[in-house]
Every structure is written in C-alpha cells, then in structure tokens.
C-alpha cells in the first residue's frame, strides 16, 4: 500500500513595495516549489504577498488569508514552506507564536534555503535566524526614532500633516510643513474662538456654511494643537516646545488666548458699548415717535449737584428729558408687574427637578459609554506601544495608530467634558433662579451695570418703548411668558398704535 502523499502550502513575501516589480517573488516561488518537490511535498496552494508589506507585524492581508485557509484545511496540510524564515516574521515573539500554532495543527515550517527542521540543529538555526531578523529590525527602528528626534529638534514636523498643512520640501530639500487651501479656515476658527462670543457649535456651523467640513470634536482638537502657533510639543523627546521651521497659522498670543478661554480662565464677554453706571437703560429704551434709541446725559446745578436725565437723540420728537431716578423707579415697577406667580414658580421647580433627574440618568449612561470607549482606545494604544517595543509594529505604523487613537480620545474627551454636569448643583441653581424671578426688581436695582444690562435684555429681549411718562407694550422672554401670572398677561397686551402706555408711572 502506497503512503499518503504529503501536502504543503507556500508563502512568499518581499520586504518593500519597490521589490514587487522585480523577480524576487517569482524566484521565491520557484525555489519553494523546487524544495517541495525534492522533499516529497505536493503543493496545495501558494500565497503571495504582492503589496511589499513589512514583516514587523502580523497584520498583513495575505498572511491573514493564509491563516484562515490553514484553520479550515489544516488536516490536509503537512508543511508551510517559505523561502526564508524571516518571510513569516522579523519579530522573534511572533515567529515563535506562529511556529507553536502551526505545530499544534501538525504543520511543519520549512525553509527552502535554511536548515529549519525539528532537529536540535534545525531549532537552533531557526532561533538564530529569528533573533538576527529582530535585531536588524530593532536597529532600523532605533535609527528611525533617532532621525525623527533629530528632525524635531531642528524644528521639523515628522508625522502626518495636521489640517491646514501638507508635507513639502524647503529650499534645502528637507521635508517641512507647507500651508494648503484649508489654512485660512483654521486661522478663522482660532480668530472666532478668541473673541469669546461663539460656542464651538456656532464656529463649526459658520465654517461649514463656507464649505469647510468642521465638527465639534475635530475643532476642539484643532484649537488645542500648538503646531498652529509654530510650536512642536513632544515631552518625551524634549521638555520644552520647539519652534518649528514651518509658517504658523496663528500667533502664540492668539493661541494662548484661545487656551485661556477653553480652560475657563478667561471670561468670555461680548463687546459692550461705552457705558456709564448712571444710565443702564441707555440704548435699551426706544423712542416710539422717532424710533431712535434713548440716550442719557448729566448737568451740574447751581449748588454743584449733578442731575442726570434720559432723552431721545432725535431733534424734533416730543420725548423730552426724563430724570433717571424717575425712569428707574418706573422700570423697577414694570419688572415687578411681569414677575411669575408663586404657584407657577413652585411648579417650575418641580418640573425642572424631574427633567433634570431624567437627563442626569441619561448623561450617566452616556458618560459610562464614553469612558468605556476611551478605556478601550487607551488599551489599544498600550498594545500598539508594546508591539513597537517588540519590533512587531513599525515606527510609521505606530505613529499613525497613535495619531488616530489620540484624535479619537480627544473627541471623546470633549464629549465627556460636556456630559460631566453635577446633579448636586441643580438644587441651589434652581433656588437661585426662583429667588431672582420672585424679586426681579430688587435684583435689577442692586446689580452692577453689566448685570443690569444683561438682565433687562433677558427679560425684554427686543427692548421696550417709553413715551409720555409710561412704558409701551413689551415683549417678554419665554420664561416670563410661560411662568407669568395675571400681571404678566396684562403686560403683554398689545395696544393699537404701540405708543399708548400700559403701565402708569
């Protein structure tokens, strides 16, 4: 009875894409098939890696395909034949793992050019070959990192170009960042953020309207990147930021200003007109006759006492001059008239508490989800670093992976920052709001000029008219419309002309 013929598969790989156009792959296949014939193996299938991928990692499409085939057909495979052992892997740990896995499946690893059988000599040769292959990789990796570090110390960016730049060459033929068509949008994003007037959502919306695809998570990462201020930050290589040789898109001063706003260390305020504490209602009250804003001024009496008045900027209207004291008292009475009822405020507190509780539970769930995603990404980053240290992952692949992970974590961290709102803080907040709504007049009278103006704009978002000693119809904000009682309803009655007074002085 004839012995059952032995069967083998062949795996061929070149180490760089440049070699794929030569004869290396063909020569490997020919040599492996000749070895199979001499050794009495019938070749079942040949796996050829045409992409010229590095053997530092097992994450190779053709190698994965081969392993899938082995998993299904291992009972009919006696050997895996390679041209050289390092065709499988140049990482010693991976090489040993593959040998052990194949051995468990009853498959020998044979080299067409090296003695790698299971004899003591073959095992020694296999380990020596694998060790030298990893040593060569380690040396290359060290040289690559050293070269990158030297380039960074010279102020050169050595990673994937950030948004707004592309990789080019300077006059000396060295690689450097060069601005591209997106650079102006990046600069505009910083300028809008530095004003402190816009949320990141609003900035993104403005940029998208101009055709620039920008979203909140990406914007947050962009605004945090020192590279746009001309600085390269790599703490593990150099303790201080390195001034880059590339052209910055923003000044260091502008970048630092944005960081202060993002960190909450700089108060974000809207620019205000020139104001005076004696005239909080200036430019807020409108004269209904000439439709001009009411302004204010003062004069000194005979005994040196100062008198202040509101008056219209128009020359021919009948607004006249109204003492500030009188108008302020009338405005305080108006605030009292539109305040919510106690019953509605109690209902408001209960509803806010219920809604907040529901949303807080949802936020807790979302926060857990985001933290879990961040944890998985951090674990992925640690694994990538271990693979780099082992030589399984190339420096370029590791940097690309790190950039991707860092970007994703940055976006998730921004999402987490928005979700982290303390439930315990809602009760004093609601209590403060209700106290303010109960006594709007007292708050306005005792507030600073800035808070007076903010509050009066909050209560009457479209302003208010005043003529003939009384206020005209006022459009109140939604919270006063919803919570207002009888007085609030009365305050919203619209008179036929818009000039007749609703409230007496």
Q: What pLDDT, on a 0 to 100 scale, did the predictor assign at position 259? A: 87
What pLDDT digit, counting tens, does each position of 477-492 carry?
877 777 765 444 444 4
Alpha helical stretches, state H, 315-394: 324-338, 342-390
| 418-439 per-position pLDDT tens digit | 665 444 556 777 777 888 888 8
pLDDT greater at residue 380 or residue 360: 380
Q: Does residue 504 have a pLDDT over 50?
A: no
Name the least confident of 42-56, 293-307, 356-370, 455-469: 42-56
Q: Dig out the tokens for 247 from the structure.
A: 């052209």
**Token digits of residue 374:** 């961040």
Give the pLDDT confidence score for residue 488 in this predicted structure: 44
Distances (CA, A) of 477 to 40, 129, 194, 281, 454: 90, 79, 29, 17, 13
Q: What is the DSSP string of 60-117?
A: -HHHHHHHHHHHHHGGG--EEEESSGGGT-S-HHHHHHHHHHHHHTT-EEEESSS--S
Q: How far is CA 208 from the centre of its chain?
A: 16
Dig out the tokens for 152 from the structure.
């960074």
Mean pLDDT along residues 169-187: 87
Q: What is the pTM of this model?
A: 0.37
**Banded pLDDT at 136 (limits 50, 70, 90):** low
pLDDT in tens, 350-367: 887 777 777 777 778 888
Q: Which residues pair with 45 in a beta bridge?
A: 9
Q: How confident is the model over 440-454, as pLDDT tens digits?
A: 899 899 988 888 888
For range 293-311, the mean pLDDT: 86
- 418 vs 218, more confident: 218
* Rounded average pLDDT over 193-205: 82
| pLDDT tens, position by position, 221-246 | 899 999 999 898 887 777 778 888 89
First to last CA, the chain: 121
Number of CB atoms found within 10 A of residue 441's CB: 17
The pLDDT of residue 290 is: 81
């Amino acid at each position: 009875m004839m012995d059952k013929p032995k069967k083998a598969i062949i795996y061929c790989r070149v180490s760089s894409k440049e070699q794929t156009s030569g004869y290396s792959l063909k020569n490997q296949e020919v040599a492996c098939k000749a070895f199979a014939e001499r050794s009495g193996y019938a070749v079942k299938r040949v796996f050829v890696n045409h992409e010229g991928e590095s053997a530092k990692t097992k994450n190779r499409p053709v190698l994965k395909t081969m392993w899938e085939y082995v998993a299904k057909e291992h009972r009919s495979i006696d050997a895996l034949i390679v041209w050289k052992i390092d065709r499988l892997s140049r990482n010693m740990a991976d090489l040993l793992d593959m040998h052990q896995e194949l051995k468990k499946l009853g498959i020998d690893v044979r080299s067409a050019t090296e003695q790698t059988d299971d004899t003591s000599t073959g095992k020694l040769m296999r380990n020596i070959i694998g060790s030298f292959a990893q040593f060569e990789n380690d040396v290359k990796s060290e040289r690559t990192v050293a070269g990158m570090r030297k380039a960074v110390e010279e102020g050169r960016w050595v990673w994937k170009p950030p948004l707004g730049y592309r990789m080019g060459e300077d006059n000396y033929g060295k690689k450097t960042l060069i601005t591209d068509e997106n650079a102006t949008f990046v600069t505009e994003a910083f300028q809008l953020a530095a004003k402190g007037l816009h949320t990141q959502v609003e900035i993104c919306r403005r940029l998208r309207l101009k055709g620039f695809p920008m979203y909140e998570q990406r914007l947050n990462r962009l605004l945090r990147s020192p590279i746009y201020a001309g600085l390269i930050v790599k703490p593990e290589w150099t303790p201080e930021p390195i001034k880059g040789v590339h052209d910055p898109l923003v000044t260091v001063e502008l970048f630092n200003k944005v960081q202060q706003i993002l960190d909450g260390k700089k108060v974000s305020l809207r620019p205000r007109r020139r104001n005076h504490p004696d005239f909080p209602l200036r430019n807020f009250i409108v004269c209904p006759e000439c439709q001009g804003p009411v302004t204010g001024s003062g004069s000194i009496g005979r005994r040196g006492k100062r008198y202040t008045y509101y008056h219209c900027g128009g020359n021919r209207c009948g607004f006249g001059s109204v003492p500030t004291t009188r108008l302020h008292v009338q405005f305080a009475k108006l605030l009292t008239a539109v305040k919510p009822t106690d019953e509605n405020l109690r209902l408001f507190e209960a509803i806010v508490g219920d809604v907040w509780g529901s949303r807080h539970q949802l936020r807790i769930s979302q926060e857990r989800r985001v933290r879990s995603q961040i944890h998985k990404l951090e674990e992925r980053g640690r694994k990538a670093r271990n693979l780099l240290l082992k030589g399984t992952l190339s420096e370029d692949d590791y940097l690309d992976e790190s950039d991707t992970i860092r970007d994703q974590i940055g976006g998730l961290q921004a999402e987490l920052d928005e979700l982290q709102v303390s439930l315990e803080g809602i009760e004093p907040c609601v209590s403060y709001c209700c106290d303010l709504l109960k006594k709007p007049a007292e708050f306005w009278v005792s507030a600073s000029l800035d808070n007076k103006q903010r509050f009066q704009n909050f209560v009457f978002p479209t302003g208010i008219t005043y003529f003939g000693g009384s206020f005209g119809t006022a459009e109140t904000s939604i919270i006063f419309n919803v919570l207002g009682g009888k007085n609030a309803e009365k305050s919203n009655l619209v008179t036929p002309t818009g000039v007749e007074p609703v409230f007496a002085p």
